[in-house]
Every structure is written in C-alpha cells, then in structure tokens.
Amino acid sequence: MSMWDAIASRGTEVTFAAGDVLLRHGDLGRHCYAIREGLVLVTATSSQGSTVVLGRRGPGSVLGELAALEGAPRSATVRATTDVTAIVLQANDLEDLLREEPELAIAEVRRLSRQLRALTERYAMRSEELRTRLASLLVTHAVETDDPVFRSTREELAGWIGATREATIRALRDLENQGSISLRRGAVEIVDEDQLRSFG
C-alpha cells in the first residue's frame, strides 16, 4: 500500500476550484492532502519577497505531511491551477497511520529524500546563466513527462528558474529566435531539443 492509498482509505474527500489555496505559507500544519484529480502549484516566498516555484503536483501526490507531523507552520503555499479533488487527513490520523504501518514511514522518507535531492539540484542550477537554467528546465520537463510543451505563465516560469519576469521573457525570445522553442500563450514548446540541450 502506498502513502497515497493509505491516506485515501482513511481521509475525507474535498474539492477545490482553480485558484483556491489548499495550504498557505505560515499557517500551522494540522492536516495533509492526497491529490486524486487536478493540478496544484507549490510556491514559497524568498527573503526578498519574490515568489519561487517549488514544483507542480498532480494525482498521486501527497502534500503538507511534514508540517502536519511537526505541527509547524507551512513552509510553502499550494494553490489549485485546475479544479482539484483531494483527500484530507488530520495530523493525528497521519501519526497513527505511520505508527501502524512502519513500511509506509520508510517509503515516505525515501520519497522526501528524492524531493530534497531534486530541490538541491534546482538551487545548484541557479548559479548558472539564465539561458542555461531555462534550457535545462525545459529539457528536463520534456524528458520526465514525454511532452515537449511546458505549460506555465511567464511569471511561474520566472519562479521556476529564479529570475525576474522581464529577464525570463528576454531569454525565451532569445531561444525562440535561435529556433530552439516556440512561444505560445501560457506555454513554451520545444522545437529543436538537440539545440536546446547544447545550451543546457
């Protein structure tokens, strides 16, 4: 049984409309969610006040479990980007679950370790040139999802790579002018992956 299955079997189904906030940065963690349908965006606020995109999550994802277990303030905000159906589980029920199913606790540690590794790699990438960071993000997304189209607003994309919206737009236009990508409204499509890899 996966963590998602365990939460789904004990929790309560809830729904959110696109734009609703599931978890808010700074709020005390008293519950977690398992996403059944829909997509959410996970963001944090930097010390300079800018929004940093930590990731997208969809069906099968578990969110908010760390703060729920610690009873600590949320470290990120989670907002629905589409209509979302989720399972909510209260913190005390989550603790009971992990005590009763120790193999789930081990699996959860492994999952969190993978997430931490991915975040570490992203922050290491931020020391690179903007165009390189952008190319790396687009290629990685295409490989992981088997989809050459990265769907995101320009603001969200800037948050992904740790840049301003204006600088991100300039880098996108540069890559488009060189024939690597095609810009759409709310999306970026890879046209020449080999060329894009040469930048990333």
Mean pLDDT within 8-17:
93
Higher pLDDT, 111 or 139: 139
SS percent in the chain: helix, strand, coil, step 5: 45, 25, 25
Higher pLDDT, 172 or 144: 172
**How far is the C-alpha of 109 from the C-alpha of 116, rounded, in Å?**
10
Percent of the chain with pLDDT over 90: 32
Q: Which of 41, 44, 22, 43 is nearest to 33 (CA)?
A: 22
**DSSP summary character for residue 2:** -
3-7, 71-75, 97-101: segment of lowest average pLDDT: 3-7
**How far is the C-alpha of 13 from the C-alpha of 35, rounded, in Å?**
10
Q: pLDDT, tens digit, for every residue of 163-193?
A: 888 888 999 998 999 899 999 998 999 998 8
Q: Is-contact 56 43, C-beta < 8 A?
A: no
**How far is the C-alpha of 174 from the C-alpha of 132, rounded, in Å?**
12
**How far is the C-alpha of 109 from the C-alpha of 54, rounded, in Å?**
19
Angle formed at CA 119 by CA 190 and CA 65, multiple of 5 degrees: 120
Q: How confident is the model at residue 124 (pLDDT cuts 50, 70, 90)?
A: low
Supply the DSSP string of 53-85, one letter for each residue. EEEEE-TT-EESHHHHHHTPBPSSEEEESS-EE
